[in-house]
Structure 1
Amino acid sequence: MKKQCVILLCVFALFVVLCPGSSFAKDQKYAVNAGGWGVLGLDLEAFVRAVEFETLLSDNLSILGRISALDYDYDESRYEEDGDGIGLGAGVRYYFSGSGLKQGCYLGGSLEFWDVEYDFQEYTRFGEGDLKAVNVSAEVGYRIMFNDNIGIVPNARLGNFFTFDEDCNYSNGQSCGDNSELGLYLVLGVLFTFAF
């Protein structure tokens, strides 16, 4: 997981360093967003760290590319699962204010492809698995700018992981079928944004 975080920070730093100083105008067309989403529940703790590159298509509409890292722990009395993974995806956001990346409420959606590895314990048996999944999500958020370039974006995401390939085995080599608890979720988060 530390390696994933280092990769995400390096990608963010690369975008910031490569931004030309002359492009810091009042009419921002691009943004680099970095942050995460999390959930704490009775039997689930999950956190996603992400770096996004967002570009305006019009005053109301933007598209984005995202790289994400997932870390989760699921623990109910008879089943425990601990996993992490990497996701790559694209999304779209509609800004109601018509002021683009300056400030305002938006609705958005994204499609991501995930590669997740997990360990589990079921009663006295344990094993590991890996899966490939498509994550479809909708989000609502509000862009708050502190100046022309720096701001935060609090938001909420509702989505679902649709697994299309899973390999799960108990420690003795016996297959355990489709075992992962990844599925429907609602998360809250905040992104730090740098618009240029």
Structure 2
Amino acid sequence: MKKQCVILLCVFALFVVLCPGSSFAKDQKYAVNAGGWGVLGLDLEAFVRAVEFETLLSDNLSILGRISALDYDYDESRYEEDGDGIGLGAGVRYYFSGSGLKQGCYLGGSLEFWDVEYDFQEYTRFGEGDLKAVNVSAEVGYHIMFNDNIGIVPNARLGNFFTFDEDCNYSNGQSCGDNSELGLYLVLGVLFTFAF
């Protein structure tokens, strides 16, 4: 009986939140966005998964916090690199329509701090490294809402990783200097959004 009551309460809460006519759904000031960006190229495969919390400051302007996970594989025959990392950052978005999180085009930018570990092979030599970097990016996207609360946000990001601390060593312990191929990128992605 207790389990059925909890399920019923959850279904009711979900109905209230998702119902387009509910008073809860009329004035969205917050959004939780989850999704990712990816790139497939001749030498590179990369995917970033992210969760964001976005807050409207006005009908045109929002700020956000983001946690991201990166997984990439770079292969140009003589040099191969496989890495992953975690990023934390903040950003801002400007909505041209003036309707905030409801619908429309936006332009944004973000600043993130990344901690990345990677393995590499250079000819017949192997090694590993880790780096700390600042990622600066600009993005353009469009909110497509299915109802007052649920939607998708296709977008594109252009950015660059600026490494400020890198430790790289060959498998024999010898230092290899700054080795990572992280740098300038252009990625396409989709976020699923829940506005409330």
Normalising by structure 2, report the TM-score: 0.89
Cα distance in structure 2, aligned partners of 1:8 and 1:45: 44
Structure 2 distance, partners of 1:188, 1:61, is 22
Aligned-partner Cα distance in 2 for 1:3–1:42? 52
Q: From the superposition, tell whether residues 20 and 97 of structure 1 become closer, same or farther in structure 2 (CA, over 3 Å).
A: closer
Gaps of 5+ in 2: none
Show the counterpart of 1:126: 126
Residues 131 and 10 of structure 1, relative CA distance in 2, 3 Å threshold: farther
Q: Distance in 1 between matches of 2:119 and 2:176?
A: 12
Quote how far apart the aligned CAs of 1:19 are.
Answer: 14
Change (3 A) 1:67 1:15: farther
Deviations, residues 19-51 of structure 1 (Å, cap 9, x unaligned): 999873211000000000000000100000000
Structure 1 pair 109–42 and aligned structure 2 pair: CA distance change class (3 A): same
The 1:102/1:20 distance shift into structure 2, 3 A limit, reads closer
| Cα pair distance change 1:21/1:90, threshold 3 Å | farther
Give the number of equivalent residue pairs.
Answer: 196
Pairwise CA RMSD of aligned residues? 7.0
Structure 1 runs not aligned, ≥5 long: none
Are residues 119 and 188 of structure 1, via their aligned partners in 2, closer, same or farther at CA, if it must alter by over 3 Å? same
TM-score for both structures, normalised by structure 1? 0.89
Distance 1:5 1:75 in 2: 54
Work out the CA distance in 1 between the residues paired with 2:4 and 2:121. 25
Is the counterpart of residue 117 in structure 1 residue 117 in structure 2?
Answer: yes
| Dislocated runs of 4+, deviation >4 Å | 1-23
CA distance, structure 2, for counterparts of residue 134 and residue 148 of structure 1: 35
Bigger Cα Rg: 2
Aligned equivalents of 2:2 and 2:46: distance in 1?
15
C-alpha change, 1:3 and 1:40, in structure 2 (3 Å) is farther
Distance 1:85 1:141, change over 3 A: same
